[in-house]
Structures are given as C-alpha cells and as structure tokens.
Structure 1
C-alpha cells in the first residue's frame, strides 16, 4: 500500500517531461530532433557497457557488449573506433569484466548490464544520476546537480533526461572521469559529454 507522499512523488515523476540535459552536457551522437528522443547509436541486442580511457587522447571510451559482438566508442566524438563481431570471450561472470579491444586491447573493462554490475552514480563536482520506475517497466533516468529528486524538476536542479519506453533498460551512469554520462538499453546507447 502506498502513502499519499509516495503517490505524490510518483505523480510528479510521471508528469515530468523528458528534457535535454542542461549545460555543460551535450549529446554525443548529434543534435536533438525531439527532447523526448535523445540522439543515440543503434546497438541491437545490447547486453552491457563499460568505460575505459583512451591511452593516447585521454578521451572516455565506452565498450559495448552485444549479442552481435563488442564495439568501442569514443565518448567525445561518437566514433566507433573498434569492432569485434566474434570475440573470443564474453563478460566474465566471476568479475563482470570483458576484454578490451582496439587501443585498450589487453585490458579488462568492468561491465554493467544484464549480468549485474553498475556505473558511477555521481561525479566529484556534484552531478548525480538516478533511475526511477514510477510505472513499471518504463525506467526514467534523472540527472541532478545538487537537486533533490523529490522536489519539482528544473527549479530544484534535476532533469528527466531519458525514458525507456521502447527498449529494455540495461544501465545508466557516469564514467570514472565524470565527463561522460551513458544510458544503455537493449537497442541503443545514448551518451552525453562535457568538457
């Protein structure tokens, strides 16, 4: 049984429209066509994602594990810089890591997705991300800059930036550097970056 407070919070979350992430965040895969559909990269059968750092550029990298293989994206430019359609090893159930490829070959990358694991929920300078499910099974991804999610959006420093209505949610969170925010579903990867 829910309390009036819980019903009010649920109603506030359901009423909050999806909005673009605020400055300094920008979408990696192009401009918004509609606020409720952030630009993304299509990745069919996506199972999980993990972050690494490019050894030469220092850019955040996103390793994507899918039923069709592994891919590596530059989280600043959006470029897919490596692809392995037939990887030798998948995610290790023992430690939820996956072998890197391309410029991070020889390293193991922690993965969050269908097998478990998690991404960073906050940054060192006050940004945080939270996943809410006011109406199952549609997850809402909320971005905050010191705001409280139970307060009114935008005036209190939080934004509803993603709603997984059409695909199964896999993971959401920040890179260890705090410069990239990722949301992964079973069909796509959405990234935001900041300087």
Structure 2
C-alpha cells in the first residue's frame, strides 16, 4: 500500500506516541473492569440522579455501572433472548436496574457509536496505524492531533490483546469509556 506524505507523517506520529495517562482533568474512575465476552456498551440517555450510567452487554448477560466510580449497580445474568442483543435501527437493549423500561443504545460488535466530542472541545478518536491494533487518542485540539504527543493530544489506550469494541463519551461529557472484548476502562472528570 502506498501512502501520501500526509498519511505517512500521521501514521508515523501515531506509531511513535507512547501510551500515557489521560491529562488533567481526566482521571481513572476505577481499576480496569474485566467483562468476558463483551459485545457492547451504552450510556443512559440522560444522567440519573446526576450520575452517568453505563450499560454493558456481554455474552453472559447485562450489567449497569456508575461510570464515575465503576460500581456495578445492577446485573442481569439471564436477559430475555428476544431483546438481549442490540439489534434493529436503534441498536438498543432494555435498561436494567434504575434504567428498567428505558431503551439504551449500545455501541460495539454490532455497530453503533458513542459521542466522540464534548461540548467543551475534548475529542476521542480511534486510529489503527498498525491494524488490527487500535489506539485511542484523546485530544483538546478538536481531533486534529497536531504537534507533539502530550501537548494537545494523548495516546491513552492501546488495544493489543483484545478487540476494541467502542470508545466514546457519555452524553454529559463527564465520562469516557474504552471497551474491548474483555474489559472496560472508565475515565471521568
């Protein structure tokens, strides 16, 4: 494959950027949360009692987490087979726990997407300069990723051992999730 000079420069920049912790004001909400057989994730459409809630769909059921702490709030080990997989044009599953009766859009193996920007200018991007290994980039420059890594953009996650399912912000912009086939990483501010 032949790259243009711009493509080669961008590829080289992403390949050389080390994985670093997200910059202030971002911080880990919890240690890495293992979820075997993860299919997808989705945030509650609106914060509940001021909390960003994250629904996780896996091959062994559904879970609901407080995205700011990583605390599991609800678990359904045996969801209804008719609605347990995100399908249809909305790619949604019925919520559980405090989201019971609320459809939650799920992004992951079956498609869909999460918010990639926040109202105050943070952007998350997935790059694959050495496909199939994905890099998650967080930027404060509108997703341009210009200049040296660590100034206006940061390489915050490298999916080497698990398949990336989704990366994105909650509707409030206060939480960022990176979901792979085996775990979730939550950042909050």
TM-score by length of 2: 0.93
Name the counterpart of 2:114: 119
Displacement of 1:12: 1.1
Structure 1: 5+ residue runs without aligned partners?
A: 30-38
In 2: Cα distance, 1:12 partner to 1:191 partner: 25
Name the counterpart of 1:101: 96
List per-residue Cα deviations over 1:145-185 (Å, max 9, x = no partner): 12621432123x00000000010010000000000000000
Name the counterpart of 1:35: none
In 2: Cα distance, 1:142 partner to 1:158 partner: 7
Correspondence list, 1:91-170, <5 A:
91-94=85-88, 95-146=90-141, 148-155=144-151, 157-170=152-165
Give the secondary-structure state (helix, strand or coil) at the position aligned to 1:70: strand
Counterpart pick for 1:76 among 68, 83, 88: 68
CA contact (8 A) 2:138 2:153 kept: yes
Correspondence list, 1:16-55, <5 A:
16-29=17-30, 39-52=31-44, 53=46, 55=48
In 2: Cα distance, 1:106 partner to 1:5 partner: 48
- Size of the alignment, in residue pairs? 183
CA contact (8 A) 1:9 1:150 kept: no
CA contact (8 A) 2:47 2:172 kept: no
Structure 2: 5+ residue runs without aligned partners?
A: none
Name the counterpart of 2:51: 59
Displacement of 1:102: 0.4
Give the secondary-structure state (helix, strand or coil) at the position aligned to 1:59: coil
Name the counterpart of 1:90: 84
Moved over 4 A (4+): none
Q: Compute the RMSD of aligned alpha carbons.
A: 1.2
CA contact (8 A) 2:137 2:155 kept: yes
In 2: Cα distance, 1:112 partner to 1:122 partner: 16
Displacement of 1:118: 0.3
> CA separation of 1:165/1:92 partners in 2, compared to 1, >3 Å: closer, same or farther?
closer
- Report the more deviating stretch, 15-24 or 92-101: 92-101
CA contact (8 A) 1:143 1:158 kept: yes
Give the secondary-structure state (helix, strand or coil) at the position aligned to 1:12: helix
